[in-house]
Amino acid sequence: MLTVNHLAKSYDGEKKNLTDVSFQVAPSEVAVIIGPSGAGKTTILRSLNQLIKDDDGEILLDDVDLRQLNRAELRRARCQIGMIFQNYNLIEP
Ligand SMILES: Nc1ncnc2c1ncn2[C@@H]1O[C@H](COP(=O)(O)OP(=O)(O)OP(=O)(O)O)[C@@H](O)[C@H]1O
Ligand SMILES: [Mg+2]
């Protein structure tokens, strides 16, 4: 189970790019995040595997808060998380 509670992120300390984002995704469940450009979809996904440091909240993967892990623990947790980047840079343009 993935549980996100009250996730918040501001890139510049002023504009709130994510404010109080909460949701749950059960095992085998397929979830889609829909929103206009700039709404924060990529920011949420990058927070899930801690590619960016968010400001507040909880990201619980099977009751382990990914935000609280040290580097080695996070490396192990990331082995369970697949990510396809929006600009996936597979070949030179
Ligand atoms: N590295 C960054 N530095 C500063 N601001 C950023 C950064 N990345 C994203 N933002 C800002 O955060 C907000 C959310 O951006 P994000 O890329 O998460 O949106 P998105 O929903 O994925 O958009 P799109 O549909 O265009 O991919 C936007 O206002 C964006 O300008
Ligand atoms: Mg995006």
Q: How confident is the model at residue 70 (pLDDT cuts 50, 70, 90)?
A: very high
Domain holding 40, by residue range, is: 2-78
Distance 40 CA to ligand 2 centre (A): 7
As a whole number of Å, the CA-based R_g of the chain is 14
Looking at residue 93, its pLDDT comes to 65
Pocket test for ligand 1, best of 9, 34, 37, 45 (most atoms within 8 A of CB): 37
- The pLDDT confidence band at residue 92, using thresholds 50, 70 and 90, is confident
Q: Model-level pTM?
A: 0.92
Cα 75–chain centre separation = 15
Number of structural domains in the chain:
1
> Is 85 part of a structural domain of the chain?
no
Q: How far apart are CA 70 and CA 57, in angstroms?
A: 17
CA nearest ligand 1 atom 10, residue: 11
Residue 9 lies in a domain: yes
Q: What is the distance between the alpha carbons of residues 58 and 48, in angstroms, rounded to a whole number?
A: 10
Contact call for residues 77 and 65 (beta carbons, < 8 A): no
pLDDT at 3 over 90: yes
Q: List the CATH number of the domain containing 58.
A: 3.40.50.300
Nearest ligand for residue 12 CA: 1
Q: Where are the alpha helices (DSSP H) in 1-93?
A: 41-48, 71-78
Residue 17 lies in a domain: yes
pLDDT at 43: 97
Task: Indicate which residue's Cα is closest to atom 29 of ligand 1.
Answer: 38
